[in-house]
Chain A
Amino acid sequence: MNQLAPAIIAALVISIMGGALSIFVVLKRLAFIGQGISHAAFGGVGIALILGVNGASTPGAIGQLSIVVAFSILAALWIAALSRSHKGRTDTAIGVVLSASMALGFVLFTIAESRHDHDDHGHAAHGHEDEHHIIEEILFGNILNTDWTKASIAIAVSIALLAITWLLRRKLIFWAFDEPVIDAYGHNSNRLTNIFLSTLAIAIVMSMQIAGVVLAAAMLVLPGAAALNITAKLKPAFISAILIATVGAALGMLIGFQADLPIGPAIVLTQSIVYLITLIIKTIAIRS
């Protein structure tokens, strides 16, 4: 079987999940929180590296993923807690968590790198190149690294996230639509916030495998934003977002593989172009 198969299937499943969640992200205005979480994940990668957990082996890959997921969830919940205590100053909370995590990640990365230099003194130059390559992968993703193990994890986790979202869909819709009143109706807004932000954090870490720290959050925004440009109804919006995400990912991969471009950025760029097209359609529809 084609060696790209696990990467392609994983990317498509992650995109379907990202498309579904992106409607909530856009409607609940969590795009910036998504950026905060994905950059915070960099801190998690730093911690995994300093602990000597690297993704080369299967247990290593699972270990690294678990550390990054845990760190991202903590960052997401920390953002939520900070926003609550600062009466909705979410931007400040994100600014703090994003910068602190990036700084932490870089410091840990540098320490891990210098350790590496000491360990393999003879191969220092080669080591540096490796490290830079790893950083680039973390920042922009490297889908070509995806073997069946990684793909299986990504697919299972994505399906689990889709299931959670489906099970809680009505409560999440009420929460995202009118959070200030849902407590009065017997729901728990803080709990729903924490559940959704944790779901989002895991989704972002999954997307990071495709698009890296810098671009992962885009995959959880663009499809929803594009879908909401062309429909004013909830159910069609979810369906369109999933379609746009999947088609965008497929086209992005096709172009990326054909033109030998980095796949993650190619997917995000394709989804961005789809977004632009929907924006034009919306503008024309409003004018006519």
Chain B
Amino acid sequence: MPPAEQPAVEIDHVSYTYPSAGIGTASTPAINDVHFSIPQHTKLGILGPNGGGKSTLIKLILGILKPTAGTIRVFGHTPAQARRKGLIGYLPQRIEADRDWPISVHQTIALIRSSRLKPWQKLSAQDHAAIDHAIKLVELTDLIDRPIGSLSGGQLQRVMIARAIAGNPKLLVLDEPTVGVDIAGQQRFGKLIDTLHKELDLTVVVVSHDMRAIAAVADRVACLSRTLHFHDTPEGLTPAVLAQVFAHDVAGVFGDIHIDAHLADDCDDPDHAHQHQHDCGCSSQSDQPNSSGGDA
């Protein structure tokens, strides 16, 4: 057996409680004892209801928040180290960049590298190659000189993806990337991420409350509602709904969807070219996948 590859992300019994918001407000943990690891080269979807701790988990992986308990490792480093080494690319939920800015598509993407230079340095040939490659991958070559204010929402999102990958990250974190996007748009987005995943050998983590958004991008799914194992079913997200949505809308397009209770599950058999539909573990306390999908 080959030596086990280091996981992209190891989350070891992590909890996070926000500081009390004010007098009379109790602090409940935003996430509680989350324990899993994300193998390299996977595309993991983390599905959870609003308020389920998805954004908190992202901030913890990015090292913007520090766990109140437990530890996180990103490619063996602390998240802060990983960020500084440029190992993480991040696409925020809302693009808050100011579109009135007098800045071109190329300048926006180059920022990721130029902002890391010493003041007297210029972008190297290697920097330019990485930036050009990112621009090519997201198909923005024709738009590089356009001011970002003239772009459509979808084009701007591609600029931000290019910015994320131009830093040569090994992990790409997508926070609710396709909110308000129609199914066709979600699927185009999924194809783009798939291309990047293959070309750049990325590990992808996508977080969303929208099952279709997850399905369009991810090849495995974990469910998060404060903790990674649901003990009670969150509102509206019953296993039946989940199974139905995946079976009807997605199965035909994305043949290989694993819906796993948690990533430690042994569901990553490369021969699984078929539908895999145990009930996501979202209401399961068992470590074993239920065999409702018919392949177990």
Contacts and interface: CB of A to CB of B under 8 A. Distances in A.
B167 interface: yes
Contacts of A184: 62, 64, 83, 88, 90, 92, 173
Nearest to A27: B101
Interface in B80-102: 83-86, 88, 90, 92, 96-98, 100-102
Per DSSP, are chain A's interface residues mostly helix, strand or loop, or mixed?
Answer: helix
A71 B88 CA distance: 39
A171 interface: yes
A228 interface: yes
B112 A232 contact: no
Contact of A167 (B104, B114, B119): B119
B92 A234 contact: no
Contacts of B88: 184-185
B283 interface: no
Interface residues on B, range: 20 to 34
A130 interface: no
Interface string B95-130: 011101111100110011011110100000000000
A177 B101 contact: yes
B39 interface: no
Contacts of B86: 185-186
Nearest to A171: B115
A178 B119 contact: no
B111 A174 contact: yes
B103 A177 contact: yes
A261 interface: no
A257 interface: no
Nearest to A182: B115
A173 interface: yes
A182 B62 CA distance: 11
Contact of A170 (B100, B101, B111): B111
Nearest to A189: B64
A184 B175 CA distance: 12
B147 interface: yes
B90 A233 contact: no
B147 A187 contact: no
A236 to B, nearest CB: 8
Contacts of B147: 232-233
B169 to A, nearest CB: 9
A220 to B, nearest CB: 18
Contacts of B173: 184
Contacts of A89: none
Given A185-B167, A186-B84, A173 B62 contact: no
A277 interface: no
Contacts of A237: 102
B103 A234 contact: yes
Contacts of A186: 83-86, 116
A174 B131 CA distance: 16
Nearest to B95: A178
A22 to B, nearest CB: 14
Contact of B96 (A167, A180, A185, A231): A180
A186 B119 CA distance: 17
Contact of B98 (A27, A167, A170, A182): A27
A156 interface: no
A183 interface: yes
A180 B91 CA distance: 11
Q: Which of A27, A181, A231 has the most CB of B within 10 A?
A: A181
Interface in A156-192: 166-171, 173-174, 177-187
Given A186-B84, A234-B107, A181 B115 contact: no
A163 B135 CA distance: 33
B96 A170 contact: no
A170 B117 contact: yes
A181 B83 contact: no
Contacts of B107: 234
A226 to B, nearest CB: 13
B102 A232 contact: yes
A84 to B, nearest CB: 13
B74 to A, nearest CB: 12
B47 to A, nearest CB: 22
Nearest to A184: B90
Contacts of A171: 115
B92 A180 contact: yes
Contacts of B62: 183-184
A199 to B, nearest CB: 15
Interface of A: 27, 166-171, 173-174, 177-187, 228, 231-234, 237
23 contacts: A27-B98, A27-B101, A166-B119, A169-B119, A170-B111, A170-B117, A173-B103, A177-B103, A178-B111, A180-B96, A181-B97, A183-B62, A183-B64, A184-B90, A185-B90, A185-B167, A186-B85, A187-B115, A232-B102, A233-B102, A234-B102, A234-B103, A237-B102
Q: Which 3 A-B pairs have the closest CB atoms?
A: A184-B90, A178-B97, A186-B84
